[in-house]
Structure 1
Amino acid sequence: MPTVYFEDLSVGQSAEYAKTVTEADILLFSAVSGDNNPVHLNAEYAENSMFKSRIAHGMLSAGFISAVLGTRLPGEGAIYLGQTLKFKAPVRIGDTVTATATVAALDPAKKRVTLTTVCKVKDTVVIEGEAVVIAPSKA
């Protein structure tokens, strides 16, 4: 999807990105982030946790929001200024996470866009929040 310029954005406009989380994703994210919490990496440990099995890093799923903002809405050239996140449910290996960003407000003076963000596995919300970006302008 091409860049959506600030002038072409409207409240309610949305885009999404979906990814099935794999074992490799979790191992790579752990290596890159340094987060080697055993609830993500050790099945025996995770079985004794509140989740009863290994879970993906919350920030791995949150990264899918970044994919929406940087590649779809507004897309290339967007500058990520901030994000709030509420982790609502775990993501497990094999789950397909769909991240959706929806334009909630536009600030023409600063070319800033506020978007509601949500990640779901099927109908279950796993993350919800709000992002603020600077959108590329035609000017």
Structure 2
Amino acid sequence: MSLPVGAIPALDVDAHVTHTFSLADTTRFAALNGDSNPIHTDVAFALAAGHPAPIVQGMLSASLFATIFGKTIPGAVYVAQAFRWRQPLLVDEAVTASIRVVRLRKRFVDCETICRKTATGEVVIEGQATVLLPKPTTTTD
């Protein structure tokens, strides 16, 4: 799905993106946001804590929803998001993020959001998001 700027999506329309976050990604994200928790960036620390690999920061994995909105509804403004993390996503584990339009209110679009481990289908994040559509563009001759 990719809509022209200002176009209104239909109910039940969905879109998804699949991505694998690397240790370099989690390290860069930690440097960017100041999250110094070594569970995200230090393999030895993650192993000692009982994890087979570092854990991708929750907000980094949740950022895939913004990726979908930016690609599929150009110009939309992300105005609300509520989500719950169900389990950790590990570095080098593929994840598929999906959105589904569930409600339209004028220029507001409410969506279900979910991230699943691509290999197993296990839910990593689930929630709801709202985006505000841009005003329709008009052309005059």
For the aligned pair, the TM-score class normalised by the smaller chain equals 0.7 to 0.9
> Does 5-14 or 85-94 show the bigger shift?
5-14
TM-score, normalised relative to structure 2: 0.86
Q: Please, which of 48, 56, 78 is the counterpart of residue 76 of structure 2?
A: 78
Answering whether residue 21 of structure 2 is matched by residue 21 of structure 1, we say yes
- Partners of 1:35 and 1:57 lie apart in 2 by 9
Relative to structure 1, is the Cα distance of residues 106 and 38 closer, same or farther in structure 2, using a 3 angstrom cutoff? same
Whether the 8 Å contact between 1:82 and 1:132 is mirrored in structure 2 is yes
More deviation, 121-130/7-16: 7-16
Worse-superposed segment, 56-65 or 7-16: 7-16
- Specify the alignment match of 1:38 in structure 2: 38
Q: Is the 8 A contact 1:70 1:77 kept in 2?
A: yes
For residue 129 of structure 2, the aligned residue among 128, 131, 139 is 131
1:69 aligned counterpart, secondary structure? helix
SS in structure 1 of the partner of residue 102 of structure 2: strand
Number of equivalences? 135
Which structure 2 segments of 5+ residues have no match?
Answer: none
Distance 2:4 2:113 in 1: 17
Separation (CA, whole Å) in 2 of partners of 1:21 and 1:33: 16
Q: How far apart in 1 are the matches of 2:4 and 2:57?
A: 30
Q: Any idea what SS the aligned residue of 1:103 has?
A: strand
Q: Assess if the C-alpha contact under 8 Å between 1:3 and 1:77 holds in 2.
A: no
C-alpha contact (below 8 Å) 1:98/1:119 kept by paired residues = yes
The secondary structure found in structure 2 opposite 1:94 is coil
Greater Cα radius of gyration, structure 1 or 2: 2
* Deviation at residue 136 of structure 1 after TM alignment: 2.7
* 1:103–1:95 Cα change, 3 Å: same
Matched to 1:116, the amino acid is E
Q: Does 1:9 align with 2:9?
A: yes
TM-score by length of 1: 0.87
SS at match of 1:99: strand
Provide Cα deviations, 1:86-110, integer angstroms capped at 9, x if missing partner. Answer: 00111112111111010010002xx
